[in-house]
Chain A
């Protein structure tokens, strides 16, 4: 009788642990999704600003072409190519900023300021997102999670290799 009770108790704890892990994982997936949504919005905004810069006098025709191309690529990239496309855009923006600053008018200056504020936010968003992704990956590698398929059909979140030196 005693052993039966004991086994029952262990089963209960096991069940509780499974449910606890499942909730934990669900919460992490949610975090990954929201942090990605955040980052996505900011990156879209950046692409829009990049296009605006490309159309302004800040950019000579050649760099304007480069920037426009990079911005469209970043906007249209699928999940797999996204981080590479965004790094390309960072690089193109970096080129313009490096030599476009001294002769900027007031409105262009405002544009550049908006860009640098956005860049600071993107940096924060990237770090929040990578953190969420790595926590999720860690939990998904756990024995219980794998054995009992607690993740269900949710796809394994991908790490985005954003260049750490985005502007």
Chain B
């Protein structure tokens, strides 16, 4: 761990008040660093400035743009740029940590405006997109200012090498593993039960795949129950569910962190049928830490997180027959389930913040060597010198 206490500026590109993986990551990281005695300031867009914790500085209200198959709430423009410059100029940071600096957001603006030790974390995994090749040459001079690049998964690293021809160090997203391993067994969620957590209305979360698999599963396990937790309106789904199976479903709505831990340690199987768009799959890491036996689609992010099937079962993505087969096999085989769950729980320790934050720290250490802290960019350094010389003459 670092012995020297640093002043770190973190930039979060997405609206602080909307739930999301990057925001959670930034919040946990900031709180971990503060607990370790460092000074942290987070710059993020926010709708309601009064609800922000005291380490977050608002950069203004975010706007919604479609990005990577979802709606991203980001912020840019001249006013945001002025705010970013002001935050950097008055912050006296030793280091800036920019999240997702390759999308149009305040992270990119900060990368543009700052000079000095900077670390960038790339979260997104996307297929090759022509549009990024077009804007690549513009991004390049900014991205290459980063002293070190972090990718949250192998998928994110590949996206980065594909699009911007630069490499990154893989450091996974962090979770508080201890919180999840302390879940209490709840009778109401136990038995032949299947758990699902997420914004189930989004098609890419894949609840539909599970719905389609259920008739087959119910034939072999008539008492199976599915618990769906997460924000959203279940009415749409209740319409398409086979009436005979409707009472097999229970929608729990949003659940708290503690309930999540209980949930993971109680359900027989945790299923993640996501069809794509995932870069890391933090929910799987949480499920593993909570001691759940995980069944997930074989999209690249999940495949690598589950060690190719070593720490959880995989099924062919979007294939509900295959999902039904895997679920039935596991529901019938308790020993196999226990084996997977305990292997997974052990593996989940590598995602614990203690481990992850230390890796991030050592990258910080390397980035700040020889640096004199963060200052505003001197892209016009020659001009600045030229102009100030003129003034001296006067």
Q: Which residues of A contact B (CB under 8 A)?
A: 19-20, 22-24, 27-28, 31, 33-35, 37-38, 120-121, 124-125, 127-128, 130-131, 135, 139
Contacts and interface: CB of A to CB of B under 8 A. Distances in A.
Contacts of B370: 33-34, 37
Interface string B346-381: 000000000000000011001001110000001111
Most A C-beta atoms less than 10 A away, residue of B144, B145, B381: B144
B363 A124 contact: yes
Given A23-B378, A38-B366, 19 more contacts: A19-B381, A19-B382, A22-B382, A23-B382, A24-B144, A28-B144, A31-B147, A33-B370, A34-B371, A35-B147, A38-B369, A124-B169, A124-B363, A124-B366, A128-B147, A128-B169, A130-B167, A131-B166, A139-B144
B268 to A, nearest CB: 37
Contact of A23 (B167, B369, B381): B381
18 contacts: A19-B382, A23-B381, A31-B144, A31-B147, A35-B147, A37-B369, A38-B366, A38-B369, A121-B366, A124-B362, A124-B366, A125-B366, A127-B169, A128-B147, A128-B366, A131-B149, A131-B167, A139-B144
B362 A121 contact: yes
* Secondary structure class of chain A's binding surface, majority of residues: helix
A135 B166 contact: yes
**Closest 10 pairs (CB-CB, A-B):** A34-B370, A19-B382, A38-B366, A135-B144, A128-B148, A131-B167, A38-B369, A24-B141, A124-B169, A121-B362
B67 interface: no
A129 to B, nearest CB: 9
Interface of B: 115, 141, 144-145, 147-149, 166-167, 169, 362-363, 366, 369-371, 378-383
A131 B366 CA distance: 14
Contacts of A20: 141, 379
Contacts of A131: 149, 166-167
Nearest to B382: A19
A6 to B, nearest CB: 22
A19 B369 contact: no
A145 to B, nearest CB: 13
A5 to B, nearest CB: 21
Contacts of B369: 34, 37-38
A33 B141 CA distance: 18
Contacts of A127: 167, 169
B50 to A, nearest CB: 39
Contacts of B145: 27
A19 B383 contact: yes
A35 B366 contact: yes
A76 B321 CA distance: 63
A24 to B, nearest CB: 5
Nearest to B167: A131
B322 to A, nearest CB: 36
Nearest to B115: A27
Contacts of B115: 27
Contacts of A120: 362
Contacts of B148: 124, 128
Nearest to B148: A128
A121 B115 CA distance: 25
Nearest to A24: B141
A121 B149 CA distance: 14
